[in-house]
Chain A
């Protein structure tokens, strides 16, 4: 680099600079505080004011929370302990400690025979054995007393894991079923389980013969097969018609108008036949016994899973160029959205029976799930429509110009992008739906809030509010927070169009 070269240009770089590390950081706590908290006098004042607010709030909440009393049999005992310790405020967490199972599961019955066999065998033998206590002709009062003492002695933890194994297993399997849908780096084969799961969950939660859910699954599979087979042979319209006829014959009684019953629906015949060949089942539990946070999860997840496809169909229908389809979708969306959810829930609980054919006994929980689904799908349709509208026209044209038909271009090009744009709105609707499940308390279902009333109605816990509400709030918060975090993860993962 010593001699001067005969360059024609004034400057020519001969050596390329190696990449350098960025300048040493904006590190140091003090520096950060100076820049972010005290950068100017007004900012410093605002910081101090905010700190003061945070302090007052914590000063009110923390002692109450942390001094909380966990071991007490009633509110009066709680207060006595508090005064004894000389505390001015203290939460009475004992109510949660004692009643958390009820808040989670409502009056869902525990599997008492299993618990007795596993952990209470000696006492069971003393009481006369399995058949004497739980058998058909056994004394109900004696049984209730036996179960009561057993629960008290075994403690909540054992009862939770073994008494409620059915809902717990359903929840654990729900996680397994949902995982491949949420995270696409899991093996695709797991999706088969996701398809089976709904029937399995119904069996676990409601019990009864296993052939009931299996027959429903068979009926649906048969209808789909007929749609595919007849569709391929006789064209889409006839295929659809054949499927509808199959569905009607299997699940409803198309001859009821003629007053003929007994032959249709085919469903009970099929499941009855299978049940006599190979009887297997769990004790049946009716929807009336469902309650607690479990109820919120059941209504919430069913609503979420069912409303998304329906919402997408409605959004596409609203954009359709066929006036009839468009008109039906618009009317549906506007009517459902324009009326409060609570009105629809009352409709579900009171009015729906008048519109249904006489004799159909439609489970209240199922009706609520349908209503919640319809309600959420109307909102989702509008959210998805926003995503569809935000997509540049060029995307539709490029898909068209490659010869993709309507459904393929929707499925492969338009919806993946439109749904991605709509993720925040979709998750927002889901969170709303999940929290709205507490409204079912007004039509007599025992949601967690309804159960707080039931707990307060007992002599021991009369007059307790905050502790129960905090617990319920926490349960909901955990779920909603997961959903919101997941949506952020998804948005980040799908961000391919930015560099």
Chain B
């Protein structure tokens, strides 16, 4: 068990706001995607209710990133339907921009804007997309920077921050748009163990507030601590999904068992 996982277990998790409602946040039905002739995602069916915290895992190349990138249309799917917050994803650009402003995304490599300060990174989208006045956007930005515990870095440039700090800024930047859903694509896999903990702490705090989250991650400690569902993908398909306890202690599919034994080192 890694240091980060051990650190997570010390933490008392406040579950009072972690409630799953009946309202549907994301609905994916019979979704298929090809890269050229390569069939990456095959018949994906997935319903995410508001307030759910879902962890997606699976071997490299299984299509995890592609799946969550389809949800905010960074990748185009060719068959099936994706409905986000009641809006069906189509090729209409207006429609896509609307969904993107409701769905926050955190990348493996942070993707902060290096030519803007931390504060400007956080206020840019609210000002230009949401048309929030500058003052108000800055106040919101400082609020979220305090949440991720780096308000003192607000006037630095991304290049002056450590990896963990940058990733926390990236999370704050997404939150400033007040998204209803957050997508995470391996947010900790480019970080050192010490920084992994800071970022996971931030993500747990987010989960505690009842945010709907889809996380691609191999941090099984995180999955056990906050996820209410773990999804295992292989070769572009969802192989197995279950509550964390059952998923880890009693996997059903052979491939899931193999994957878990490799990743947990049993």
A interface residue numbers (CB < 8 A to B)? 392, 394-395, 397-406, 408, 412-413, 416-417, 420, 494, 496-499
Contacts and interface: CB of A to CB of B under 8 A. Distances in A.
Given A496-B159, A499-B160, A402 B111 contact: no
B103 to A, nearest CB: 8
Given A416-B115, A497-B114, A402 B129 contact: yes
Contacts of A497: 114-115, 157-159
A396 to B, nearest CB: 9
B124 A394 contact: no
B97 interface: yes
A392 to B, nearest CB: 8
A116 to B, nearest CB: 56
B74 to A, nearest CB: 6
Contacts of A404: 97, 124-125, 128-129
Nearest to A416: B115
A412 B127 CA distance: 12
Given A405-B97, A497-B114, A398 B159 contact: no
Nearest to A498: B159
B104 to A, nearest CB: 8
A395 B115 CA distance: 11
Interface centre among B104, B105, B115, by most A CB within 10 Å? B115
Contact of B113 (A413, A494, A498, A499): A413
A422 to B, nearest CB: 14
Interface in B149-171: 157-160
B114 A403 contact: no
Given A402-B129, A496-B157, 14 more contacts: A397-B74, A398-B107, A398-B112, A400-B74, A401-B103, A401-B104, A402-B125, A403-B97, A403-B98, A408-B128, A408-B129, A416-B115, A494-B115, A496-B114
Interface residues of B, number: 28
Contacts of B74: 397, 400-401
B264 to A, nearest CB: 31
Interface string B88-109: 0000010001101101110101
Contacts of B97: 403-405
B177 interface: yes
Given A402-B101, A402-B173, A496-B159, A397 B107 contact: yes
Q: Is the interface of A mostly helix, strand, loop or mixed?
A: helix
A152 to B, nearest CB: 58
Contacts of B111: 392, 394-395, 397-398
Contacts of A401: 72, 74, 100, 103-105, 107, 174
B100 A400 contact: yes
B157 A412 contact: no
Nearest to B130: A403
A194 to B, nearest CB: 23
Contacts of B100: 400-403
Contacts of A416: 115
22 contacts: A392-B111, A397-B74, A397-B107, A400-B100, A401-B72, A401-B74, A402-B100, A402-B101, A402-B129, A402-B173, A403-B97, A403-B177, A404-B97, A404-B125, A404-B128, A405-B97, A417-B113, A420-B115, A497-B114, A497-B157, A497-B159, A498-B159
A84 B160 CA distance: 69
Nearest to B183: A401
B12 to A, nearest CB: 31
A494 B173 CA distance: 22
A-B interface, 10 closest residue pairs, ranked by CB to CB distance from nearest:
A403-B101, A497-B114, A398-B111, A402-B125, A394-B111, A403-B100, A401-B105, A496-B157, A497-B159, A403-B129
Contact of A403 (B109, B115, B125): B125
Nearest to A399: B113
A420 B113 CA distance: 13
A316 to B, nearest CB: 16
B124 A412 contact: yes
Contacts of A420: 115
Interface in B110-133: 111-115, 124-125, 128-129
Contacts of B160: 499
A405 B107 contact: no
A121 to B, nearest CB: 60
Contacts of B173: 402
A494 B157 CA distance: 11
A343 to B, nearest CB: 40
Contacts of A397: 74, 107, 111
Contacts of B113: 395, 398-399, 413, 417
Contacts of A408: 128-129
Contacts of B104: 401
B177 to A, nearest CB: 6
A419 to B, nearest CB: 10
A394 B167 CA distance: 14
Contacts of A403: 97-98, 100-101, 125, 129, 177
A413 to B, nearest CB: 6
A133 to B, nearest CB: 61
Nearest to A408: B128
A71 B219 CA distance: 86
A394 B108 CA distance: 10
Interface string B173-197: 1100100000000000000000000
A385 to B, nearest CB: 19
Nearest to A413: B113
A402 B100 CA distance: 6
A494 B129 CA distance: 25
Interface centre among B97, B158, B177, by most A CB within 10 Å? B97
Contacts of B101: 402-403
A406 B157 CA distance: 24
Nearest to B161: A499
A96 B114 CA distance: 51
A400 to B, nearest CB: 6
